[in-house]
Structure 1
């Protein structure tokens, strides 16, 4: 789950001036966009939400679980001891397992609410807490972002449709540590551009961890490693996206993760001059969002759902990474 961003409707305006009008129920349409990126798709709209799901009383809770208040952002990266690293491995392993099983549910006619219900039961069944639930009053246990949704989509009663693409973002709180991961899934057979976008997003994530990673992370130089500038991540992601003909959203960042859900360092996915270097035994997420059109975004009235301003598709991929003395360890591999 990406780090929260400052409130606002439009972010990082570019040269193409677009006028956005709110249209009932919190969804938006873009007036005057240069081309129709919906291609006959119905734009996303909010659907019915089911009540937040119950967490069994024996499950240990993170500090925000009852209040919904965002915890104070930790300014120093957490450096784990040996026990903390093992707990991070366990939480990330569970997150990856839940994500894989959630992805197996994706099919036309399945609602994102049904995916949320299954994810919730898998997590609490493993003795863990679904980290998104009541984090800043987020009402569900997983984020499900469909088509033009950049991130933080709230599961609801909308059935998935043939040709959709969906990001499922799973975070679990197990034994005091959060593990965070996400991936894209196809609903039936999406358009070729949708498949290329999803593939490029995964390639950008892999390349930002290890050059030529290709999902295997073997046989090439690590991009992530001790004392490497964090700027190397954004530089790499932008290069991969540009070669594939896509843009990178500048509005959402990766983040330190461990005993706190969102902590330092802030991991920018675009070119930047922010200070900071990777520290041994620290853990953080890399979770780029690529777009087929403009990366500009519109935020729904729910204060969570972020969609592309031009209706173009978006895709995201995420791993939690541990920095080691010789490079990095990807904790959320399936």
Structure 2
């Protein structure tokens, strides 16, 4: 609690220093609002400060809603990052909006931005739910209930690590309408590969190495969010964790749009040697197959190592990776 108070006070001082057009308050613990922010660069600075240990996983998902009003008030508008596009259901009983994150995440918080032009009271009473049930949007547990959000403001609601693939916003009652400007879903960063140096044996086009650790699994635009080598003999990809860790598991996300079989036979290797670019280190697992767009977890039983490699033995092979995550325990040795 004391840490929360210090954090919120520090945030408040910084926000006042940057712009007197931004208002902050502590709502539902560790929450804030941004209002009347006219300078996009200031908003980005604040996002970096307040969320440096989180990533907005909502931008990788797909959204649907119970009904759609008119021709342009789509569910996906809540994920486009624009302040002038909105979602909008028709007037109905229990309107809802549902986000599919494509896989299960631990959720720190959910942010909701209300529309700025009118009707700000329509969000009052909305329930934020998180869980793994897709068919019944009302059966997943409630993270928070929205009492009110001023027009154009963004409020953040703490979900304290609730886990789920689906995030829904619904308003109970008859003759209700649900309108959303933006929805953010923030998950903690626990990935040892985050921000590390990565290399690969070759690069095809714009499929650069770093895109395998960019937090974006490539469900929408694989060419700008996945890595890929050229066709070659024994293609490989490697991440330098900078320190020696006990690696408990490695998570690999395969590309969604095509060619899922390219990952077949890939070896995950972990160790401290750079002999053969790290590809001679011990094997954690061999990937038999990963369906398109799926994230598969491989247990490494606390193997120790600084370098994590993926290599596909053989001729005329591609290695395409949309996301590589490495999880383990604290630093064993700094080198």
TM-score (norm 1): 0.23
Computing the radius of gyration from Cα coordinates, the structure with the larger value is 2
* Structure with more contact order per residue of length (Cα contacts < 8 Å, sep ≥ 6): 1
TM-score (norm 2): 0.23
